[in-house]
Structure 1
Amino acid sequence: MRRTLGVAMLTGIVVASAAATGATAAPADATTGYIVVLRADADSSSVAAEHARANGAAVGHVYGHALRGYSARMSATAAERVSRDSRVLFVQPDGVATTTAQSMPTGINRADAELSTTAKINGTDERVDVDVAVIDTGVDLDHPDLNVYTAGAKNCSTGRSADDGNGHGTHVAGTIGALDNSTGVVGVAPGARIWPVRVLSNSGSGSFSDIICGIDFVTANADMIEVANMSLGGSGSDSACGSNRDAMHEAICKSVAAGVTYVVAAGNSSADSSTFVPAAYDEVITVSALADFNGLPGGGAAATCRADVDDTLADFSNYGADVDLIAPGVCIESTWKGAGYNTISGTSMASPHVAGGAALYTANNPSASPSTVKSALQSAGTTDWNNSDDPDGSKEKLLNVATF
């Protein structure tokens, strides 16, 4: 059972479905959200329109890149009829996602980003030539410390634009690529072009179908986007690509195959990440959180914004065999909505450090596959941290980008 974490302290996303939570099913004649995944040779738009006419479905998103399919509201009876169509691979209930929250920032220092010849952190605004999608609550489109690519903004959620009314997505974006301009903060890959892909509302809530819409958009632009960060997750488990069990996983499989490196948060439940998605997926880079209060190895630093032990696995962080890297995720200062700055904690804050590292690597190796990027990050990582409190006993590599 996921333990509740204070909204002001820990930031992440919880994704749940009726099946996962034990919620009571809606009456058969009530409309419910569904995700319909079609066979690869089906035309999403025409099939969705046909199903809408025949079954009274109210179509939402239509997917044509990461998936063939669509989302819609319809009755359970209609969903059953749709599932029998030979063009349909599977139909699943939509899920709900909600946030569970929570200079050179300490995390940038601990990752040795200032030593990277690609990052070139010296107070001069020289921007890393790379494109990173932030699949989140949106990004502050006018933040003076970010290089937001507004032409690449996508709103799959509520509201009128991809502008951030929550703060979470803007914080993630700053850790990835805040400008090296002598003001505010600096990111791991300063000046990286940020594509704001909004899949969550101002309150930090959204649906599986909205998240897939974001992945679909990224996949459609895979010729330009090298890295995508997803600081979100929820109950679920891994499955093989092509098993037709999990629409979000199938979408990520296709997106990774198109060349996009996905970096995701391990989760904030002090649990094995094998029970959370997308953290459990093999195709992504899953990141746990290190408690680091001074940006230096060795431990012993006093706690700052929250109680924890310096240089150890954060007390809220998920762990396990699905974790690929660990990165700073406690008391991380970064950009915030309204052209501001904020200090918060969570594996949501650890993930964008690694996304920034992936951005640095791909800036110099533009043809590298996502698996190559993952291997390069793991090879460059160090074991210079204390894992004495890590329940899985494994010492994952700590992000280090000094050689990138």
Structure 2
Amino acid sequence: MDVVVIGGGASGLAAAVTASRAGARCCVLEQDVECGLRLLATGNGRCNISNAQLDPRHFRHEDAVRHVFGDHAERDIASFFEGLGLMLAEEDEGRLYPMTRRAESVRDVLLNACDRLQVDLMCGVELVRATYADCWELTLNAPSAPLSFKPGRDAKAHIRNARKALAAAPRAERTIRSRRVLIATGGQSDAICKIFGIPHLQEQPVLCPISCRLAPEGAREADAASLALEHLDGLRVEGTLSLMRNGAAIAFEHGEVLFRTYGISGIAALNLSRRLQPGDVIDLDLFPHLSEAQLLDLLRRRERDLGSFAGSAPWLDGLVARPLAALVCHLANGSNDPLARCAAVLHRLPLRVLGTAEHRQAHVHRGGIPLSAIDLDRFAVTRRRDGSPVRDLHACGEAVDMDADCGGYNLAWAWISGMRAAACAAKGASC
């Protein structure tokens, strides 16, 4: 084999297609029963494949991305998928989706390309050892016979049945040889890095919901029950989130915010989750287009039209959702100037950050192979943990320490890094 790709996700499939197009004999090693299954859940099942403007400032390591992407990354991704038969469509904020708005379309064209190019997709296998002499010798633990299971009523049932069969299947070791190996294992690369003896940064989930509690100024311990976020659970609002640290704003995000019992979610919250620390404060501004003075003036005019405020939540109907209005009224009642207090709360509702939540559903992980151990011109791993050099080993995608905001940026890194790594791995690779 010329190139073995470890991992059949987004970056791994892009790498396999690219290496095969370059003339390399290529196979993919995938632990799951099929390749590309994680793609089906991206973008709420629609797959936000990339962004029309891949600004490096959206990425964790801006300079590295600028070096890798060059001037034409958007065009390179579009050309790659158009060459596979996938049409793209642009939505708000430059988000690119398949024309079908179905993630399965992205997976299908990648698998179709692998089939045409005769890429060997070896699924249900685990790498257990890797040694290098003149080539890589990879020892695999794999099912000793083809899986046998009922197909199921639909695609989800088919996958469930296949996974059950894989878990129960007898297994045996087998060995393959390859001139070059490309690590594309996604955000859980620790075990693979140990096998190859290469550096690894502990991974942590990012792009997660935020665990926080309401922390308005002047609130007392006795207010805890009234301020519990469970009263707002499931409420969606539009607003601006300001991440505050030591009294200074360090990041802003605008968009939909979803209240949960433990804190907040939604794309704006997910993006902030990459930058926050426990103890930070997030200020939610529900009327970012108005200053606090303008908002107070709006409320005073509303009082002339609707009558005295009197601390009643229905008085805010049509302006603020009733559950949130009840909270605003609770905080305003007893104030010397209730309307001014309402304006202040609506303009800046503070949330004390406890951390992140729902880690199992994280969109991406931070960590993996450090950039200091990667030659980004070739996406080649340059050294082992003991400092000794390593040959003919490449890495891409989330296996490398890179993460970015929502909006297609993380998948863009997967595609580009997979293509770049595979193009270099395929050069002169013959065993």
Same fold (TM over 0.5): no
Q: Which has the higher contact order (CA 8 A, sep 6+)?
A: 2
Bigger radius of gyration, 1 or 2? 2
TM-score between both structures, scaled by the size of structure 1: 0.25
- Bigger fraction of residues in helix: 2
What TM-score results when the alignment is normalised by the length of structure 2? 0.24
